[in-house]
Structures are given as C-alpha cells and as structure tokens.
A and B are shown apart, each in its own frame.
Chain A
Amino acid sequence: MNGEFLILFFVVAVALVGGAIVFASLIAPRSVNAQKFEPYECGIPTEGPTWIQFSIGYYMFAIIYLVFDVETVFLYPWGVVMKSMGLRSFIEIVIFIFILGFGLLYAWKKGALKWV
C-alpha cells in the first residue's frame, strides 16, 4: 500500500473516538448538579483564574528544542547517504555537530538550561 492510504488510518482513528463518544453519550446516565461541573481541586471550589501567565522555564526549553529538532531533521538525510559518501560526509558531520554542540554549550553557559 502507498502513503496515500495513511488517510485511511486517520479516518479509522477519528471514527473510533467519535463512535465511542457518541455511543457512550447515548447509553450513559445524565444528571445535573451545579457542583459536579466544577473543575477538580481537592474537592473545594477553585481559587482564582486558571488561564494565567505560566513559568517562563517551559518556554525556554521549548525554544532550544525547536533549534535542535530542526537540526535532527537535517541529520536524517545525511544518515541515509553516510555509507556511500564516505570521508567527505564524515568531515561535514564533524563540523556540523561541532557547531551544534557549541550552540548547546552557549545556551548552557548563558543559563538557559537552568530551571527557574
């Protein structure tokens, strides 16, 4: 089968979730109670809003991740041709990884990897 048939798997997955939710909502009991629809917080009413500004630490890691993930994507085509290209591709990858490692070192020294 070809790559186009991946859409089949997407459709089946969506049908599985959709079908089960529709089925469950048909047979499941339903009762209305004001307290039941509150978000869970140790069983007491929620204090303050939830959608607030969040710790910057997570975003720092997300930004560094973005850089390194793109580099990883570049490494895959190299991995496929490494054997056939020989010495030239080895020298290139040493330079590439050196620059990449230097970037990581820079972020490390700048304190981007420190948890705040």
Chain B
Amino acid sequence: MLLEIFSFSTLTANIDKSLHAWMAPWLAVVTELVIIGIVFLLFYAVLGLFLVYLERKVCAIIQNRIGPNRVGKWGLLQTVADFIKLITKELIPIRNADSFLFNLAPFIVIAASFMAMAAIPFAKGLHAIDLNIGIFYIIAVSSLGVVGILIAGWSSNSKYSLIGAMRSGAQIVSYELSVGLSLLAVVVFAGTMQLSAIVESQANGWWIFKGHIPALIAFIIYLIASTAEINRGPFDLAEAESELTAGFHTEYSGIKFAFFFLAEYINMFIVAAIAATMFFGGWMPFHIGHWDAFNRVMDYIPSVVWFFGKTFFIIYLIMWFKWTFPRLRIDQLLNLEWKYLLPLSLMNIVIIAFVVLMGWYFH
C-alpha cells in the first residue's frame, strides 16, 4: 500500500476541517476557493517562468553553449527579469486591426490552458477537480486554444499573422485526431475516463508496460501528435521565425505577447503531464506486479516526486525534438498525420480491442 504520509488528502482534509471549525460554512467554501485560485495562479506563473528558463538551458546544452547565467544563481532569475521587461513595455494597438478580437485572443489562449490544469492529478490526493470524464475534459478544453490562435492571427491584419494562424489551425485540428485516438488506447485498457481511477489502475505496473506493444505504439503516436498539437519544433511552422517572424503573435507586444508565450509552455506541461498520467502511471511509483518488497521500497519516494519526475522527463524529450530535427513543410506535416498516423492509430484501436478481448495484457 502507498504510504499515507505522502498523501495530500490528509492535508487538504485538515485545512477543510479547520476552516469549517471557526467559520460559517459559506465563508469556509469561499475561503477555500480563494486559496485554490491563488495556489493555482502562483503555480501557473512559476511553472511558466521555469519552463522558459529550462528551454533556454536545454537548448544551450544541446548547442554546446552556457545559456543564461548572469541574472541570479545559474541565471535562474533570467525569466523573471524578462517578465518585468515585458510588463513594462508599451501595448501597441495596430491600426486597422479588429481591436475587440485582438484583445480577446490572449484571454482564450490562457483560459484554455489554465482550465486544463484543473483536472490534472499532481500527487496522491492533490487534484483540484476529479472529473469522471477527466481525460476527455482535458482534451476538449486544451483544444479550445486553437480558437484563440486563429482569432489572434485573423484580427492582427498582418499577412504573417494570418498565414501563421491558418497553418496552426490546420495543424492543430489534424493532430487532435491522433491525440484523441492514442489516449483512447489507455481508456480501453483502464475502462474509465476518470484520471484518478486510471492512475489507481496502474498500481501493479504502468500501462506502457502492461499493455505492451499496442500501448507502446499509442505512446509514440501520442508523443509525435502532441508535439505537433502544441506547435513545437519540428512542427513549429506556424511560427517559423525565418519566414513568418513570429507567426500568429507577430503583432502582439508587451504582456499580451508574454501570454501567448506562457500558454505555449504551459500547454507543453499539460501534454507531458497527460502522457505521464496515462502511460507512465502519473504519481504512481514504479511497481512490478506482485514484487511486494520492491514495490514497498519504491513507495518511499513521494508521489509528487514521481509525477514531476516523469513529466519533466517527457518535457525534456519534447525540447530535445525541437533542437534536433529540422522543420517540416506544411504538406509533409499534413501527410504525416493523414496518411501515416491516423490510419495507424485507427488500426491500433482495433488491435487494442482484440488484445483486451482476449485478455492478452497484464492485469
């Protein structure tokens, strides 16, 4: 059994109890909501700043450079300094732009990524909302971000932005299919869409091992498709800087630009967190079947360490892709999805259905 000392449910239950002890019920609920809102807001901002720093460091290591090293210890405060710079910059209104849509776009992009975070189980007993359609909800909400991107590109009244937004729209909606179908693999194995139940179902081994080959195929498809879905290299032709300057957010300045940047990195975290939760057991420690002694030793590593370890491993993989592969062309990109990944994932679903029917996976 998992060690109760690492469970966050006791902590949250205690906070709940003590708030209810000296407050009116409605006031306690409001206080809890405020606490949750502030905690998630801080987490969101710190995570965004850290991921940008991490990206620059990883890029520097791969290109044999040092990377940011002046601001703060090891350059850790570099992105904080960047943020302060961005928030003090002028917000330039573009002439002839559709100003209502132009200002609306950052709201949609940020809201999509922030709401997707609500359903992610970060550790044992540490999730804001445990929906019974958890994974479905995350797919649905995170794909709303593309609306913001299209609006941003269209309303800017700039050709670079328009081309970038169109490419991005075609790319994101195409790869959405493979993401959905590859995550369906784990839903079939686990028989539920609730994220906490999916994590619990991996207590005797992660799905990538228990589901052997079909799960592995699904994971590889998911990794490729989700890299494309978050507009990252080698699929970053929506913001191909050598031809489109910055793609759909060319015309944005100051803090509005920062929000697009932030949402992109948070989306990367969400994608990696889903991969970790669905295929690598989320906060579940590394367990092997009935090796109780081994499993027991693994339980001594806190669940939150497991979750962030796996997530950052996948984030590192996605960053590694960007700095290794050259950028694709739009027709190559769409061919890859429609002629290779989509037929493959449809076939994979049939194989998984057969494997589950025959019981050829580890229970």
> When chains A and B are docked, how far (Å) is the Cα of A89 from the Cα of B350?
11
The total of chain A residues at the interface (CB under 8 A) is 66
Q: In the complex, which range does the number of interface residues on chain B fall in? A: 35 or more
Name the distance in Å between A54's Cβ and chain B's nearest Cβ: 6
Evaluate contact between B256 and A61: CB separation under 8 angstroms. Answer: no
Evaluate contact between B93 and A20: CB separation under 8 angstroms. Answer: no
| Candidates B106, B115, B250, B254; contact of A17 at CB < 8 Å | B106
| Candidates B161, B180, B184, B353; contact of A69 at CB < 8 Å | B180
Evaluate contact between B111 and A83: CB separation under 8 angstroms. Answer: no
Whether a CB of chain A sits under 8 angstroms from the CB of B72 is no
Evaluate contact between A13 and B94: CB separation under 8 angstroms. Answer: no
Name the distance in Å between B158's Cβ and chain A's nearest Cβ: 4
Evaluate contact between B111 and A10: CB separation under 8 angstroms. Answer: yes
Evaluate contact between B350 and A72: CB separation under 8 angstroms. Answer: no
| Candidates B90, B256, B349, B357; contact of A97 at CB < 8 Å | B349
Summed over the interface, the residue pairs from A and B with CB atoms below 8 Å come to a total of 200
> In the complex, what residue of chain B is closest to A25 when comparing beta carbons?
B91
> In the complex, what residue of chain A is closest to B133 when comparing beta carbons?
A76
> When chains A and B are docked, how far (Å) is the Cα of A6 from the Cα of B248?
28
Within 8 A of B (CB), among A36-67: 36-41, 46, 50-51, 54-55, 57-58, 61-62, 64-65
> When chains A and B are docked, how far (Å) is the Cα of A11 from the Cα of B245?
33
Given the known A-B contacts A10-B111, A39-B157, are A24 and B88 also in contact in the complex, defined by CB atoms under 8 Å?
Answer: yes
The chain A residues found within 8 Å of chain B, CB to CB, are 1-3, 5-6, 8-14, 16-18, 20-21, 23-25, 27-31, 36-41, 46, 50-51, 54-55, 57-58, 61-62, 64-65, 68-69, 72, 75-76, 79-84, 86-87, 89-90, 93-94, 97, 100-101, 104, 108, 113, 115
6 pairs from A and B in contact (CB 8 Å cutoff): A10-B111, A24-B89, A40-B160, A41-B160, A80-B191, A113-B338
The chain B residues found within 8 Å of chain A, CB to CB, are 33, 36-37, 40-41, 44, 87-97, 103, 106-107, 110-111, 114-115, 117-118, 128-131, 136, 154, 156-162, 166, 169-170, 173-174, 176-177, 180-181, 184, 187-188, 191-193, 245, 250-251, 254-256, 259, 330-331, 334-335, 338-339, 342-343, 346, 349-350, 353-354, 356-357
